[in-house]
Chain A
Amino acid sequence: MCGIAGLIHKGKSSSVGSEMTAMLQALKHRGPDSTGYAVYGTPTEGDYIMRLKVAEAEDMEKGRGIHQVIKDRIAAVEEILAEHGAKIKSKDAPREYSLRYVITHSGDTGEMAAHIEETEGVEILSMGNGLELIKDLGDASVVSAAYGLNDFQGTHAIGHTRMATESDVDIKSAHPYWAFPYNDVSVVHNGQITNYWIMRREMERKGHRFMSNCDSELLAVYTAHNLANGVSLEESLRRSIQEIDGVFTYLVATKDQLGMAKDTMAAKPLVLYESDDLIAMASEEVAIRAILPQEIDTYDPYDEEVRVWQA
């Protein structure tokens, strides 16, 4: 069933980490397997924030040996960063297997990211100027507490509570998906894509990589491909309704935009609230009421509806 949520403040920064936590916690019943966030802070040109995992949560039960494996993988990642001329400005490890780096880098970040992911067990969750992507097993309160998201200030965010249907219960199958290697693009999705393998092969022929077997990852790659080829976010969303088959409602965030698209069957829900300075949307109204308890006007977008908002 899954739950998706998004919010964007126009022209100002706010506590999007705690706001998204409240929204996702209200959607916990739609998917307790994992929770994910894509939050957008203040972009700093030249600085990249890289979130990555070097193991799956379940790997931690494999005994003492896993701790050394993790250390070795982290060392390998840092060696590659150095090879590419990236300088580590700060490093945090909210979980033993999940790290956050702030780096400065002036070279080809796509090439560097691909090189990092050659390390066994390493997956970059996000790398961007403003984007930070956090996902882990458990509900929003668990993930938020572990990763300190209640203190996060930013302009916009998307989030996801996952009920695993098409792939495994693990972090790599959790949403959101980073649109590798396109800077600052992330996607959350509710639904099933029925031409997934056809579209995936097409994207792979065009040189894109897939880290999971989750059909939702396709939307991230598809969007990244379009954006990289000069297509606007709104046009990409419109094209997806014609080119991607299945039932879907999905949200896409870039460094300064938030967009939504609903397929032709409109079978996956979304409730939307819009004011002059805040737009909030979620699979269910309870999530919007978690941050806006007062009486407000909301509506359900129609079939094939596409909307894009600017931060």
Chain B
Amino acid sequence: MASLSDAELNAMTQEERAKALGMTTEQLTGKSLYIEFDEDAEDRFTYPWAPDVDFNKRTEIDTDNMTTTEVNSKIRDLMAEGYGTIVLKNPRGKHSLGVGILSRLNLIIEGSTGYFGVGLIDGPNVRINGRVGWSCAENMMSGTVVVEKNAGSTFGAAMRGGDLVCKGSVGSRTGIDQKGGTIIVGGDVGALTGFMMQRGRMVICGNAGKNLGDSMYDGTIYVGGEIKSFGVDAVTAELTDLDKAWLTRKLTQYGLMPEKGVDHFTKVVAGKQLWNYDNLEPNEKKLIL
């Protein structure tokens, strides 16, 4: 693939840019395109000023007697030293752990975190072996976050890219104002899931609470279980073969594939009767599969 400058890419339409970058695209509801990057291209999307880390260089931080600020500073210091795999021990519900990591990194959190964990990240692969509090991965831009247990409310609020996975159940307002990327929940979600969703996709393997997709502008929500009620302007749509293939690939990737497959999933999209929202953000550039 020929190397293209940012100016050349910006001059292209969405379709042209996707084709030039070797990406696959899919027409969602309305005008927006969902664009998936080729796995080979992911190295293009790291910040040039981010430290070059070695994933095989591993270390641990015992966070027990440290403040959140000290822990986050320590992570950055270790990344500057080239550590590419960092394990946080004894997080004990601390808030804002691992926020603002703007590079590739394997971050493993052995335990549970509080509010705003791993928010504003751009590139790291995070595994949390416990549960997470409210607003986990808020404004996440790229990378993967996998939570092994339950999560609090506003999970993935305003996230823009990457994969955010909770293998347990999640609180209310999951994916509020989501602007891109994928949220996958192995269990149930609470009320107002997908509230004001703008882009991206969400997969709920269990049940959804009241007012699913309320006031969503765009994006797609797939629900495997029961939906208590739909929110304003959320409607069902046909589950296509492309949807099924994508669901199968994603759920298999994270070990959440239901025994009965994906044919029973309900697809929910914006009805677009109440909203006229044309100023979607530029396509997310850092989706890493």
User: A residues within 8 Å of B by Cβ?
Assistant: 264-267, 269, 271, 284-289, 293, 295-300, 302-303
Contact = CB atoms under 8 A, between A and B. Distances in A.
Contact of A303 (B92, B115, B191): B191
B200 to A, nearest CB: 22
Contacts of B171: 266, 300, 302
Interface residues of B, number: 29
Nearest to A300: B171
A280 B112 CA distance: 16
A300 B150 contact: yes
Interface stretch (B38-46, B70-78, B126-134, B270-278): B126-134
Contacts of B173: 266
Contacts of B210: 264, 303
Interface in B161-190: 168-169, 171-173, 190
Nearest first, the 10 closest Cβ-Cβ pairs linking A and B are A285-B93, A300-B171, A266-B172, A289-B92, A286-B93, A289-B93, A303-B191, A302-B190, A299-B150, A300-B152
A265 B93 CA distance: 24
A222 to B, nearest CB: 23
A296 to B, nearest CB: 8
B112 A266 contact: no
Given A302-B171, A303-B172, A295 B191 contact: no
Given A295-B111, A299-B131, A302-B172, A286 B95 contact: yes
A58 to B, nearest CB: 33
Nearest to B189: A302
Contact of A285 (B90, B114, B129, B191): B114
A297 B93 contact: no
A92 to B, nearest CB: 36
A182 to B, nearest CB: 32
A82 to B, nearest CB: 51
Contacts of A293: 90, 92
A297 B191 contact: no
Contacts of A269: 133-134, 152-153
Contacts of B111: 295
Interface string B119-155: 0000000000111011000000000000001111100
Nearest to A285: B93
Best-surrounded residue of B129, B130, B168 (most CB of chain A within 10 A)? B130
Contacts of B114: 284-286
Contacts of A267: 172
B112 A300 contact: no
A288 B93 contact: yes
B112 A299 contact: no
A184 B113 CA distance: 35
Contacts of A300: 134, 150-153, 171-172, 190
B190 A285 contact: no
25 contacts: A264-B191, A264-B210, A266-B171, A266-B191, A269-B133, A269-B134, A271-B152, A284-B114, A286-B93, A289-B92, A293-B90, A293-B92, A295-B112, A296-B112, A297-B149, A298-B112, A299-B150, A300-B150, A300-B171, A300-B190, A302-B190, A302-B191, A303-B172, A303-B209, A303-B210
Nearest to B93: A285
B190 A303 contact: yes
A271 B130 CA distance: 14
Given A266-B171, A286-B92, 11 more contacts: A265-B191, A285-B93, A285-B112, A285-B114, A285-B131, A286-B94, A286-B95, A289-B92, A289-B93, A300-B134, A300-B171
Contacts of A266: 153, 171-173, 190-191
A265 B131 CA distance: 22
A5 to B, nearest CB: 13
A267 B173 CA distance: 9
A298 B114 CA distance: 11
A271 B150 CA distance: 11
Contacts of B169: 299
Contacts of B168: 299
Interface in B40-93: 90, 92-93
Contacts of B191: 264-266, 302-303
B195 to A, nearest CB: 11
A295 B152 contact: no
A26 to B, nearest CB: 8
A147 B92 CA distance: 29
A271 B170 CA distance: 12
Given A266-B153, A286-B92, A286-B93, A295 B172 contact: no
Contacts of A289: 92-93, 112
A285 B209 contact: no
Nearest to A269: B134
Contacts of A303: 172, 190-191, 209-210
Contacts of A264: 191, 210
Centre residue among A293, A296, A300 by max chain B CB count within 10 A: A300
Contacts of A288: 93
Contacts of B151: 300
Nearest to B187: A299
A70 B94 CA distance: 44
Most buried by B among A264, A271, A297: A271
Nearest to A293: B92
Contacts of A287: 93
A302 B191 CA distance: 8
